[in-house]
Amino acid sequence: MDADRIAPFGRAVALALLGGCLCAFLLATLPPIAICVALGALGALGWQRGGRARAVGAFAFGFGWALVHAHSAMAQRLDPALEDRPLRVKGVVVGLPEAGIERQRFEFHTAFAAIHGQPVDLRGTLRLSRWRDPAPIRAGERLEMIVVLRRPRGLRNPGGFDFERLALERRYAATGHVREFLQRGTIEPGVDAWREAVAHRIAIAVADLEASALLRALAVGDQAAIPDSLWQVFRATGTTHLVAISGFHIGLVGAFAALIAGLVHRLLPGAGRRIPRRSLAAWAALAGAGGYSLLAGLSLPVQRTLAMLAAVLIAVVLRRRLGAGGALALAALAVLLFDPLAVLNAGFWLSFGGVFWLLFALDGRPPGGWWMAWTRAQWVASVALLPLGVAWFQQTSLAGPLANVAAIPWVSFVMVPLLLLAIGLAPLAVVSDLLMRVAAHAARAYLDLLQWIATWPLAAIDLPPPDPLTLALAVAGAAIVLLPRAVPGRLLAPLLWLPMLWPRLPGPAPGSVDLTVLDVGQGLAVVVRTAGHALLYDTGPARPEGFDAGAAVVVPALRAIGVRRLDRVVISHGDGDHAGGAEAVLRSHPRADVLAGPGSGRGRTCEAGMRWTWDGVDFEILHPPEHFPPLGNEASCVLRVAAGERAVLLPGDIGAIVEQRLARAAPVVRADVLVLPHHGSRGGSSPALVAAVAPRIGVASAGHRNRFGHPAPEVVDRLRGAGADVLHTGTSGAIRLRLSPSGVQVRALERRSVPRAWQEP
């Protein structure tokens, strides 16, 4: 392309701006704000000059613009000095609260905050929970309350979800819980209150709980009522994108509004002298899409979709000629100028990527009949988005293309129109109720189909997240596959997918063992991997309607580090912080053999003297002895794993009495790595045990700033005094070690391995 002909809002500029925004978030730390502003200003000057400087300027502007937004979002975060202190806050509930049996969770916009009567600077959105309160929290409710807050911080694990990135994208200032309500009950009329009323009406009108939850998600973006079992079905069938109010649905409503406007224009012959039909249709489409976006709650993804649609429709009104590629570039520019943090969201890449690949593969080719065009579009989307789906969700669905061929038209052209008509005709109660019942039956039929497809063998395949080179090869393979049929070698391109679909994640050599102490908060889960086997010691915490470490941490981490099959699960004892995630883990690995402490109620009971050897690595249960009573912590299974002369000791939550007994068994308990008993509590890791074990590394699996003070300072001092380094999952994230006959190696501390600017220290 001639550099002098680079359009100021064309494809080259859009790609440059996108590249600048993306590169900004590869930094480990944010540069000073003055540098970011200066870079953005210089980039803007280059953008408006033209020539080759235009693309370079757009890149620099995108880089600086994204960093300015990141600075703004990070500056809103809670002052660390205010963490864990009771604050009095006033403000309003935004969005739709998530109501469960025991917990309510909601987002709160702060208007005022104080501590001990002194105002403090607290801006932005709070993500709050309230436990065991029968009075429901309402959308738009004005509240005054006492809250306890922390800066947004997530767990860091291989393959794990990055909550801190989400907090940056959504501009969360803090997370926390409500300690006490001081004043409540005033509801501000507005969009959120209207959305809540619509969701309540659907819940009353539709008795089928699953269908009701799906319809509420499609109508007002309320996904809180969708059970985990349904999410598993959506993931297995590749239809998760249809649960959200997507850009396609918003565009569909806009197209329907444009169609109605066009018909009205034809029925009024004199209207053409006042406004062209194309302009009327464009404004009607924008109004329809805007109304549906309001109903959806104007979340950030919806705002981005509306900005994209508005950019294209305004170009139509101004009679600017836009090809498909030009429209996509203009939409991307609108989204990135409106919110450069959009590049942190999977929806941005999937939506723009899907349209880009459709244009790449189908532009200029004969469409054939409508069915052929639809089938070809589904094929293109399935092939092209496969690498992105694996990168973002570590999963692909073999049944997805077939499921989407039926699901997309059914949801988009049957369920959503019926649902919106039922809502729009609410004053005509009889007609509205009839339409709502028909929509519910359509939803039930849709769910029955997906639940059947989800039972197919290999409907969904779990994969580890690809590294950048593997992802680039997979994207290149998809591009070659989608080239015209005459291109030589096109059918060999899927070979470029092999590193992604069959990744080589080398484990330890025979005689060595990899140990991964996962960051599960206040709990324990340890993956022990030999050359050909894998064992999980404890499964992390879980609580009803709350965090389940088994599903959220352990299963994704096993996938990410290359464990496709668990041979054995050892549950030290039945406490929720050690055994809570067992159900999710065993659902994902149903063939695993289970050993558990006395009274745990799962699998075989572990007993001292049990031994086995995998790949030259020895495993031995040291406690409890035969016929030991179910005494909770004291009945914990104590496991020693030895790779030659190197060993690790996993003692669960044993207390002082069992520690003394084990200390008397020295040198049997000697180990290079000690996972601290009871998370490093003050009453554990006695001098006798530390002397008997003589560890080089002590690992405390405990939550960051946990209320118990684990690991206790005196325990840390005791271990350091004995010559051991002490690592803590709460500050380091998951801890990955390798034990081999040659020594012990710290392979990775997850929070420090790939630092990003949005991470908390």
Q: How far apart are CA 286 and CA 307, in angstroms?
A: 10
Q: Is the pLDDT of residue 192 over 80?
A: yes
Contact 750, 519 (CB under 8 A): yes
Q: Residue 455 — very low, low, confident or very high, per pLDDT cuts 50/70/90?
A: confident
Question: Which pLDDT value is given to residue 460?
Answer: 78
What's the farthest any 2 CA atoms get from each other in the chain?
A: 100
Question: Which pLDDT value is given to residue 1?
Answer: 44
pLDDT tens, 676-705?
999 999 988 999 999 999 999 999 999 999
Q: Is the pLDDT of residue 368 over 70?
A: no
Question: Which pLDDT value is given to residue 268?
Answer: 74
Question: Which pLDDT value is given to residue 187?
Answer: 86
As a whole number, mean pLDDT of residues 267-274 equals 67
- Among 110-124, 183-197, 366-380, the minimum mean pLDDT is found in 366-380
Contact 538, 442 (CB under 8 A): no
Higher local confidence (pLDDT), 517 or 252: 517
Q: Percent of the chain, pLDDT > 90?
A: 51
Q: Residue 275 — very low, low, confident or very high, per pLDDT cuts 50/70/90?
A: confident
Would the CA dihedral through 649, 652, 656, 660 be positive or negative? negative
- Among 9-23, 76-90, 293-307, the minimum mean pLDDT is found in 293-307
Q: How far apart are CA 225 and CA 214, in angstroms?
A: 8
Question: Which pLDDT value is given to residue 228?
Answer: 79
SS3 annotation, 397-424: ECCHHHHHHHHHHHHHHHHHHHHHHHHH
Question: Which pLDDT value is given to residue 2?
Answer: 47
Question: Which pLDDT value is given to residue 289?
Answer: 83
Question: Which pLDDT value is given to residue 508?
Answer: 93
Question: Which pLDDT value is given to residue 248?
Answer: 64
pTM, entire model: 0.87
pLDDT tens, 12-43?
899 999 999 999 999 999 999 999 999 999 99
As a whole number, mean pLDDT of residues 652-657 equals 92
Contact 324, 289 (CB under 8 A): no
Residue 745's nearest CA partner among 556, 509, 569 is 509
As a whole number, mean pLDDT of residues 724-734 equals 96
Question: Which pLDDT value is given to residue 129?
Answer: 94
Name the average pLDDT for the chain: 87
- Among 265-279, 402-416, 732-746, the minimum mean pLDDT is found in 265-279
522 secondary structure, DSSP code? S
As a whole number, mean pLDDT of residues 195-211 equals 89
Q: How many Cβ atoms are within 10 Å of 247's Cβ, its own excluded?
A: 24
Q: Residue 62 — very low, low, confident or very high, per pLDDT cuts 50/70/90?
A: very high
Residue 20's nearest CA partner among 42, 49, 1, 48 is 42
Question: Which pLDDT value is given to residue 111?
Answer: 92
Question: Which pLDDT value is given to residue 360?
Answer: 77
Q: Is the pLDDT of residue 145 over 80?
A: yes
Q: Is the pLDDT of residue 141 over 70?
A: yes
Burial class of residue 490 (count of CB atoms within 10 Å of its CB; 0-12, 13-18, 19+): middle
As a whole number, mean pLDDT of residues 468-489 equals 85
Higher local confidence (pLDDT), 482 or 26: 26
Q: How far apart are CA 285 and CA 297, in angstroms?
A: 18
Higher local confidence (pLDDT), 393 or 169: 169
At 635 the three-state DSSP class reads helix
State both tokens at 183. Answer: 């004043």
Residue 678's nearest CA partner among 699, 704, 662 is 699
Q: What are phi and psi of 500, to 5 degrees?
A: -85, -40
Sequence-distant (≥ 6) Cβ neighbours of residue 448 within 8 angstroms: none
Q: How far apart are CA 491 and CA 480, in angstroms?
A: 8
Sequence-distant (≥ 6) Cβ neighbours of residue 685 within 8 angstroms: 659, 674, 676, 677, 698, 715, 718, 719
As a whole number, mean pLDDT of residues 191-202 equals 86
Pairing of strands 86-99, 604-605: unpaired
Task: Enumerate the H helices of 318-385 as residue ranges.
Answer: 324-338, 346-362, 370-384
- Among 197-201, 318-322, 599-603, the minimum mean pLDDT is found in 318-322
Higher local confidence (pLDDT), 299 or 712: 712
CA 672 to chain centre: 36
Q: Is the pLDDT of residue 568 over 90?
A: yes
Q: Residue 232 — very low, low, confident or very high, per pLDDT cuts 50/70/90?
A: confident
- Among 251-255, 416-420, 513-517, 606-610, the minimum mean pLDDT is found in 251-255
Q: Is the pLDDT of residue 216 over 70?
A: yes
As a whole number, mean pLDDT of residues 506-525 equals 95
Q: How far apart are CA 706 and CA 682, in angstroms?
A: 14
